[in-house]
Amino acid sequence: MTVDREALQASWNRTRGHLDAAREHLTGLPDIDLSATLEFLQHNELGLAFDCLIDLGDDLDLPLSFWQHLDRAARGMHLYSEALHKPHRTAADLCRRHLAAATEQE
């Protein structure tokens, strides 16, 4: 199987852009430590950065756009299809719940 490295890099860049956009919603909020998220992003650990952002945003009243960016990142990483094979709740499940709730509020 041949991997199209340019397409893969473009996909990573799009996902990274969504994660960065979501992270911006948390920048400057009190009691929010983004150091782990930034470290994961610096090492191209996009899935771990996604998990951190979900964890940080879970108890906050964040705008729909925060959850939309995380939803797009999850789709880019195929996290929803992977979640079907895991018996426990995943960060992708939390993202879907928050996205649905934020959409209802808009």
Residues in contact with 96: Cβ distance below 8 Å, sequence separation at least 6, in sequence order: 71, 80
DSSP E strand stretches across 1-106: none
Residues in contact with 46: Cβ distance below 8 Å, sequence separation at least 6, in sequence order: 12, 15, 16, 19, 40, 73, 77
pLDDT mean over 37-56: 96
pTM comes to 0.84
* Tens digit of each residue's pLDDT (9 = 90 or more) over 47-83: 999 999 999 999 899 999 999 999 999 999 988 776 5
Domain boundaries, the chain: 5-105
More reliable by pLDDT, 90 or 30: 30
> Residue 83 has what pLDDT?
55
